[in-house]
Amino acid sequence: MLQKKIVLLFIATLFIMNEYSFINAKELSEMEVKKIAKEAIKNVGGKLKHTLMQKVKNDGVASAADFCSSEAGKLAKEASKTLPEGVSVKRITNKPRNSINKATIENLKVLSTIELKMKEGKTPAMVVRKLSNNHYQVYKPLVIGKNCLNCHGDSSTRNKQAYQIIQKKYPNDKAIGYKKGELRGAFLVDIKR
C-alpha cells in the first residue's frame, strides 16, 4: 500500500515538473519582449541620461564630460544589478568612443536596417530579434539631439572645453562629427529565459 502511494507520488512529481519546465520554456510574445526591454532601458538608460542632464544643468558641459568619462560606466553597472535575472542592457555603436561599446557584425546589420528606415523618413522604432525560443534581443535606436552635439558634434557644434577633457580620456574617439537627427547607436537589451 505504501509502495503504491510512493509510486503515485513519484508520477505526480514528474507530471508537475514537466508542466513547470513547459511553462518556463514558454515563448515570449513580441509585446512581452518589448515590455521587458523598455523596463530595463528605463532603469539603466534613464539613470544615465538623468544624471548626465543634471550635471550639464548644474555644473556645465565640461564637468559633465568629466563625469561621463569616469563615472558613467560605474553608474550603468550599478543600475544593471537591479535588472531581472537573464536581462542585460548595453549601448552599441558603429562609431565608438569607448571601445567596449563597439557593435558586432550582427549588431551592425541591425543598425543599418534602422538607418535605412530613417532615410525613408520613418521614425526609428525598436527592433526585436528572436535568437531562440528562450533568447531575445531588442535594439532601441539612439538618435542625436541638440544637447548631444556638445560632446558628439563636429568642430563647429562641440563644446571646446568639454571635448578637450573627452579627447584626453579617449584618444581613439570615433563618436564625433554627428549632426542632429542622425543615428548614434542603440541600447541593446539581451533577454534569456
Binding site for ligand HEC (CB under 6 A): 61, 64-65, 68-69, 72-73, 91, 93, 96-98, 101, 142, 144-145, 147-148, 150-152, 162, 166, 175, 184-185
Within 10 A of 43 (CB to CB), how many other CB atoms are there? 17
Cβ proximity to ligand HEC, 26 vs 146, nearer residue: 146
Residue among 141, 140, 114, 138 nearest 189 (CA): 138
Residue 77 CA to chain centroid, in angstroms? Answer: 12
CB of 49 to ligand HEC, least distance (A): 6
Residue among 160, 162, 153 nearest 181 (CA): 153
Q: List the Cα angle 49/78/168 in 5-degree steps.
A: 60
Cβ proximity to ligand HEC, 69 vs 80, nearer residue: 69
Cβ proximity to ligand HEC, 35 vs 168, nearer residue: 168
CB of 100 to ligand HEC, least distance (A): 7
Cβ proximity to ligand HEC, 33 vs 185, nearer residue: 185
CB of 96 to ligand HEC, least distance (A): 4
CB of 30 to ligand HEC, least distance (A): 24
Cβ proximity to ligand HEC, 3 vs 156, nearer residue: 156
Cα separation of 117 and 97, whole Å? 25
Side chain identity at residue 35, one-letter code: K
Residue 49 vs residues 76, 92, 192: alpha-carbon distances, Å: 10, 16, 26
131: phi then psi, degrees, rounded to nearest 5: -85, -35
CB of 104 to ligand HEC, least distance (A): 14
